[in-house]
Amino acid sequence: METTETKYQKYLPKDYKSEIAVRWCPGCGNYAILNCLHKALAELNISPHNTAVISGIGCSSRLPYYMNTYGFHTIHGRAAAIATGVKVANPALSVWVATGDGDSLAIGGNHFIHALRRNVDINIILFNNKIYGLTKGQYSPTSARGFISKSSPYGTVEDPFRPAELCFGARGTFFARAIDVDMKTQVEVMVEAARHKGASVVEVLQNCVIFNNGIHNKISDRAWKDDNTVTLKQGEKMIFGKENNKGLVLDGWNLKAVTIGEDGYTLDDVLVHDATTKDNTLHMKLALMDTADNLPVALGVIRNVDAPTYEREYERQIAEVQQRTPRKSFTEFLLASPNVWKVK
Amino acid sequence: MPTNAVVTDIKQVTIRFSGDSGDGMQLSGTIFSTLSAIFGNEIATFPDFPAEIRAPQGSLHGVSGFQVRIGAKDVYNSGDKTDVLVAMNPAALKVNTPFLKKGSIVLFDTDSFQKKDLDKALFQTQDPFKELSLDHVQPIGVAITSMTRSSLEGSGLENKEMLRCKNMFALGIVCWLFNRPLEIADKLLKQKFSKRPKIVEANIKVLTDGYNYGNNIHLTASTYRIEPIEASKGFYTDVNGNTATAYGLIAAAEKAGLPLFLGSYPITPATDILQELVKRKDFGVKALQMEDEIAGITSSIGAAFAGSLAATSTSGPGLALKSEALGLAVITELPLVLIDVQRSGPSTGMPTKSEQTDLNQALYGRNGESPLVVMAAASPTDCFECAFTASKIALEHMTPVILLTDGYIANGSSAWKIPNMEHYPEIKPPFVENQFSGDASAWSPYLRNKETLVRYWGIPGKPGYMHRIGGLEKDLLTGIISSNPENHQQMVHIRQQKIDNIARYIPEQEVLGDRDADTLIVGWGGTYGHLLEAMLHIRDNGRKVAYAHFRHISPLPANSHDLLRRYKKVIVAEQNNGQFASYLSGKFPDLHTICKYNKVEGQPFKVIELVEAFTHMMENK
């Protein structure tokens, strides 16, 4: 579809902000995500009228109301499928999905994996607070085994999904992770997600101040963040730590966190991040790193691979067919079809 | 082609090709009906096949049939009983025995009526005709299998490929019997197997040999001729209901100047709509096979939001899965066409059998007060008109529309005069920029046209009209989320009123037959052909009777109440337990004249039964 933009305009974060008062709980991590999205869109300079933000149901999914863009707050779990329709219908739009761990990984799991498999060019921001907030505190598909909640008073007896694992299992081409309090990384990965042609997942580890306060503290708290996370950058060494002296190395088939200069490890041993390798084995290992295994949690763009996008391939097929067969009116088409006879 | 000396003129004939689901009976039937249509007869077809793709060979539940009724005129349905049965095996004979008219010709393959075949069809004796008490039919045994094989000797085809051609030998005999020109069949076969010239050649050879065989040995005393109809001038083709539905959507998109989007998921008997539209990339159609029924409708809702003519196609179980999303389309007031090709239920039911049991689901199957438009198509070609009209209503009134068709009209075909689209009405969606151009700030997403109560359509990509919609209740003026009680009451009222208003934009309900009769027959959907013929029979029997067939169900045509009140007796006939009858009673509580005729067998109505039942009901005071 044509855009009617006539002159260059530089957009500011406030241009993406709607006039509606934001109604999340005070201290909710969603505020930061919203601000980061405003900033990322301004950095990308995508015009608000060419932006569509689609959401499902849950706290996260109220986000479109706070955007001065086209917005659609839909039904539980279906945002990825609706966004697929929007993007395929008009590939010129920048299409975003705001969703939560319950919305996309439980009731909407099917749409989530198939949107990734198709590689339709939508940007999914997955707010992961490991809890159902809007229904007031039930465990979610990302809650850890044994997690006690209103719907699991004795602790859950099921293992959680790890979003990255699901994303790679569905052949996702882009996965990034950020923490709600780390606005810089968030904006960076959102910008990268938008630039990626294909389905992008940005997992934001988000704090639910009311029902799951502090769930990400081990990595979000300043006291531990530097030692417990590594922010991956394309083409750079995987270095982390308060002193910036820790690194990730390969130890057999596994990743290992080492201190540079100790146990014989030098900077040369530290791995260089490449998000663009087609093989996702190392991306998977990086994405699943956990402090419980003495490994830092990976942040930043973990996987970013080029692949044909669904909506462009669809348009390419249409163009090819139309090139082969000259455009007809509907009546002309019928008259030219087989089994036509004339009554005189 | 040489023809028999004795040719009898007849007005109509019903023929059923029947055999194993792998015997090619659907193909023989399709070719015969298409060539009859091209020849100039009226046709109505009824493919009746099992849900299993290849049931055990020769078994009773594996029988697949294709019934075609052809006539010089007045072919309203595919016929109750058959004049000619082609039975490729004993199971086909047994299954179709109840449908044989007195004096029917039964053409059967003697090669496949051997002991082992009879055993498979659970016959106790070696004489199936006697065992079935078929003393009133004319059995004509032909060694179809062995003659097919010898016809193709030296063709280089493998035995299996040769045997696949035996349906053509049977078709050849039928073509001889009804004096059909083989040239048309040859052409159709060439189209069907265009990429396999060897197969085309073999099929044509066997077809011709079958024809000549009938002719040479004078298989029957007489052959039959059905004169071509005097149809109105123009170009014709034959079309089944699913294809016609797909075409209606394409025609509407062209008229509206919008891209067409279909989100769907394979489901019997609706899949052909998806399969037709994925082919139509020449029209720029975007038809997506999604991951499930819910994604089928929700991707369409996304496309509607983004400015397409959006549709989704399904059958009953799929409609059940789509109901929450339909509610979203209702509250966001987006245009959407949902086609439900009804089949037998509940649950998986009988997927390949047809009935009208989804009306309640279409009308009421959502949470909340959730009004939308419901329409029903009457015949294969009417599917085109209805899909066009459904699209027009959806786009101009910003509402989801459910179009009910059914398996019978979806798979059945009839001749269709190619429409001249210039004679079809304009489709003008309420684009926001047409109404609020230059002053976008005066607009909010739920402001309405005062007369129609339709909101305006703001499509992403246009500067100035950025807005948010969603499943939460909105303030009727600002479009901002609202749980204000008075506002909700008003919105509930407005959404209903908007649908009710559509009655002003649809035609008044017509009455066929004797308008001044005491009794009115009422029907809707795919039973049209049977009910019409029943009505004509009753009139031929010297009774006055009227008939109203409803295309528009929600809202009903504006004159519905006045019309129904005129009759002392209103017989509502439907293939369910009385869903439309209950709906009418609910709408018009003063109407105490309704009697119901209901039959839910997964089979088309039988005209003879309708005539008998209606006559009986008319006699009872």
A3·B461 Cβ contact <8 A:
yes
Q: What share of chain B is helix, strand, coil (3-state, %, to 5)?
A: 40, 20, 35
Name the residue of chain B whose CA is nearest to A330's CA.
B251
pLDDT of residue B22: 82
The rounded mean pLDDT for chain A is 95
The Cα B388–Cα B406 span in angstroms is 17
A78·B284 Cβ contact <8 A:
no
**Mean pLDDT across the stretch A96-114?**
98
pLDDT of residue A47: 97
Confidence of residue A50 (pLDDT cuts 50, 70, 90): very high
pLDDT of residue B232: 81
DSSP state of A105: I
pLDDT of residue A7: 66
Higher pLDDT, B30 or B50: B30
Chain-centre distance for alpha carbon B100: 24
Total Cβ atoms within 10 A of residue A5? 12
State the complex-level ipTM: 0.96
The Cα B448–Cα B430 span in angstroms is 10
**Mean pLDDT across the stretch A93-120?**
98
Structure token digits, residue B442: 């005066």
Asked if residue B311 lies in contact with residue B262, where contact means CB atoms within 8 angstroms, the answer is: yes
pLDDT of residue B9: 86
pLDDT of residue B548: 98
Q: pLDDT tens digits for B421-463?
A: 999 999 999 999 999 887 788 899 999 999 999 999 999 999 9
**Mean pLDDT across the stretch A275-281?**
97
**Mean pLDDT across the stretch B592-611?**
96
A322·B282 Cβ contact <8 A:
yes
Q: Is the peptide bond before B555 cis (omega within 30 degrees of 0)?
A: yes
Domain A13-215 of CATH type 3.40.50.970? yes
Q: pLDDT tens digits for B543-570?
A: 999 999 999 999 999 999 999 999 999 9
Q: For B298, which of A50, A82, A314 is closest by C-beta distance?
A: A82
Answer whether residue B419 shows pLDDT above 70: yes
pLDDT of residue A161: 98
For tokens 């003129």, the residue is B9
Q: pLDDT tens digits for B170-204?
A: 999 999 999 998 999 999 999 889 899 999 999 99
Tell which of A19, A114, A121, A330 to mutate to test the B interface (max B CBs under 10 Å): A330
Q: For A318, which of B281, B458, B462 is closest by C-beta distance?
A: B281
- Residues 412-431 of chain B whose Cβ lies under 8 A from any Cβ of chain A: 418-421
Q: For A335, which of B235, B238, B303 is closest by C-beta distance?
A: B235
**Mean pLDDT across the stretch B368-387?**
98
Q: How far is CA B540 from CA A77, B495, B534, B606, in A?
A: 59, 46, 10, 17
Answer whether residue A64 shows pLDDT above 60: yes
Q: pLDDT tens digits for A263-275?
A: 999 999 999 999 9
Confidence of residue B8 (pLDDT cuts 50, 70, 90): confident
**Mean pLDDT across the stretch A228-247?**
97
The Cα A31–Cα A181 span in angstroms is 10
Chain-centre distance for alpha carbon B84: 24
Structure token digits, residue B349: 């039911």
The rounded mean pLDDT for chain B is 94
pLDDT of residue B96: 95
**Mean pLDDT across the stretch B415-421?**
94
Domains annotated for chain B, with CATH where assigned, are: 7-225 (3.40.920.10), 237-423 (3.40.50.970), 432-505 (no CATH), 512-619 (3.40.50.920)
Asked if residue A301 lies in contact with residue A191, where contact means CB atoms within 8 angstroms, the answer is: no
Q: For A341, which of B38, B324, B481 is closest by C-beta distance?
A: B38
Answer whether residue B4 shows pLDDT above 90: no
Structure token digits, residue A316: 């390419």
How many contacts, defined by CB atoms under 8 Å, are there between A and B? Answer: 205
Please state the pTM of the whole predicted model. 0.94
